[in-house]
Structure 1
Amino acid sequence: MSLDDLKASLPDYAKDLKLNLGGVLTSPNLTAQQIWGTALASAIASRNDDLLRTIESEAAQHLTPAALTASKAAAAVMGMNNIYYRFVHLSSNPDFKKLPARLRMNVIGNPGVDKLDFELWSLAVSAVNGCGMCIEAHEHEVLTKGATKEAVQDVIRIAAVLHAVAVTLDAERALKG
């Protein structure tokens, strides 16, 4: 399915999503690798088959194999970290904040792409998964590494729109089912 086919599959009530889908995948504040890596990581985190297949196909035209893999790795490791650190953050027991995570996260230290890009992708996934502690950590990292606030906003806009598209596609499938 192409991006145009995906837009066409959205119902009329999601017209804003159709318009936003095209708009967020371009940005003067982000490189093509940052845009498409964010899109792929966000699509993985949003868990809709049609969206994921479409975005992966489009992303493959803009990303090197290493960047494609790194984007998937960001979604994978943040899928784990977002659950763990959201629990630590939300637990009323302060002792959990003092315990080591004891989870392997080697890809964060050596993602195979520019660390800024990997951190942007991790930030997007953390936003989709709603982990405030991870959002704060990755936002700090990307700003420290030179990203602008506008670039951060664009990454979150991509994550927001792709997640909304996934929710809408899932709802339509359920209603037809």
Structure 2
Amino acid sequence: MSLKDFAGTLPDFAKDVRLNVGSLLNEPQLSDQRKFGLFLACAHATGHKPLVDAAEAECAPKLSAEAANAARAAAAVMAMNNVYYRFTHLAGNEEYARMPAKLRMNVIGQPGIEKVDFELFSLAVSAMNGCGRCIDAHEAVLKGAGVSADIIQTSVRIGAVMTAVATVHSALN
């Protein structure tokens, strides 16, 4: 099932969410690798298996194996990092922020695709997971690489819409 078809199963009260999926699938300012990598990373980040299955089906013919694995890896490593770095940011004791994380995250340095694309995936997932420290870090890398605010915003919009799709679908099924 395609992502558009999956979104089409949402009830009328989520019509705006359905329409946003369609608009983002047709977003012209993102390359296919960025766009479908974002959809795949964000679907995995929701943890909602029916949405993950739809995203996998949608993205399989549009992404290289390396790009698909990088999208999945971004969701996986951000699931860990977002919890850890959100804790160091929110904890009243600043000592934690100065301590080494001691978490393996080699995929960030060697994602198997262009670093900028992996950073976009990581930023969108970090926004979904609400980690301000990670959002700031990924956004700084992207801005340093010359990525426009429009591209960054579109990436986060995909995360927001995929979260809404998963939330509505899981509440009804």
TM-score, length-normalised on structure 1? Answer: 0.95
2:121 is aligned with 1:125:
no
Indicate how the Cα distance of structure 1 residues 13 and 102 shifts in structure 2: closer, same or farther if over 3 A, else same: same
Separation (CA, whole Å) in 2 of partners of 1:164 and 1:5: 15
Describe the SS at the equivalent of 1:112.
Answer: coil
Describe the SS at the equivalent of 2:156.
Answer: helix
Say which is worse superposed, 64-73 or 22-31, in terms of deviation: 22-31
Correspondence for 2:37 = 37
1:126-145 → structure 2 map (5 Å cutoff): 126-145=126-145
Which amino acid in the other structure matches residue 56 of structure 2?
Answer: E
Say which is worse superposed, 85-94 or 138-147, in terms of deviation: 138-147
Separation (CA, whole Å) in 1 of partners of 2:45 and 2:4: 21
Superposed displacement of residue 50, structure 1: 1.2
Superposed displacement of residue 3, structure 1: 2.6
Q: How high is the sequence identity, in percent, across the aligned residues? A: 50
Superposed displacement of residue 47, structure 1: 1.4
| Residue ranges of structure 2 left out of the alignment (5+ in a row) | none
Correspondence for 1:116 = 116
1:16-165 → structure 2 map (5 Å cutoff): 16-165=16-165
Separation (CA, whole Å) in 2 of partners of 1:110 and 1:81: 16
Contact 1:25-1:158 at 8 Å conserved across structures: no
Describe the SS at the equivalent of 1:43.
Answer: helix
Superposed displacement of residue 145, structure 1: 1.1
Indicate how the Cα distance of structure 1 residues 116 and 46 shifts in structure 2: closer, same or farther if over 3 A, else same: same
Indicate how the Cα distance of structure 1 residues 25 and 4 shifts in structure 2: closer, same or farther if over 3 A, else same: closer
Deviation beyond 3 Å, 4+ runs, structure 1: none
